[in-house]
Amino acid sequence: MATFALIHGGGGSGWDWHLVAARLSARGHGVVAPDLPIEDPQATQDDFADAVVTALGDARDVVVVGHSYGGFTAPLVADRVGARLLVFVAGMIPAPGEAPGEWWENVGFEFPGEMKAEEHFLHDLPSELAKENMRRGREPKSRDYGLPWPGERLPDLPTKVLLFQDDRFFGADLQRRVARDRLGLVADEMPGSHLALLSRPDELADRLLVYTAAATGE
């Protein structure tokens, strides 16, 4: 069985993955979804990766999944632990030497206008789940945003990109283009908002299990 390292996005926490994690665990897989030290003003991407690697311990057959801003951390973890598979889920795919704060302009991101956070990210969630997500939100204060991404390259291992077709923040056209330009990949697609890991956990877990079976032979 695989061990999944589920990495949350900016302003989030490991709780964002709890529904997907429960479904993966029910299928017999190991799961870690640590809170990254985003509220630490001194924290860097290396510190984020440390948090995930520490949570993994001596786990083998690791599948690393990065959501949104967690896409900057996921390749670092995958490289360090010799992961079997790397998955970007509505993820920011970094380039060597690129600071997260530079990514937006570099990939041609266009802010989607005046909408509340709930409308950007949570529009297909049940109201109570959306409220709980907002309650658990954390303010990023870490200094990594302005620091060059420390990876020398994206790791040479099986990699998938999965976008959410109803994502109002990272639109599908943007995600398709970034996957093609930075990884030479055609992104896979499924319905859902930017937080489809909360609104469509069954489908997302199934996708991850299919990817894992292909990569690990399970």
| E strand map for 62-209 | 62-67, 85-89, 159-164, 188-190
Q: Give the model's pLDDT for residue 4.
A: 98
Q: Give the model's pLDDT for residue 115.
A: 61
pLDDT (tens digit, 9 = 90+) per residue, 191-213?
A: 999 999 999 999 999 999 999 99
Could you give the 3-state DSSP secondary structure of residue 21?
helix
Q: Give the model's pLDDT for residue 122.
A: 85
Q: Give the model's pLDDT for residue 119.
A: 73
Tell whether pTM > 0.85: yes
Q: Give the model's pLDDT for residue 112.
A: 74
CATH of 3-216, one of 3.40.50.1820, 3.40.50.300, 3.90.420.10, 3.30.70.260: 3.40.50.1820
Can you tell me the distance from the alpha carbon of 210 to that of 218, in angstroms, rounded to the nearest whole number? 9
Q: What is the domain partition of the chain in residue ranges?
A: 3-216
At residue 112, what are phi and psi to the nearest 5 degrees?
-80, 30
Can you tell me the distance from the alpha carbon of 175 to that of 29, in angstroms, rounded to the nearest whole number? 28
Q: Give the model's pLDDT for residue 45.
A: 97
Low-confidence stretches of the chain (pLDDT < 70) are 114-115, 117, 217-218
- Specify whether the CB–CB gap between 7 and 72 falls below 8 A: no
Q: Give the model's pLDDT for residue 110.
A: 86
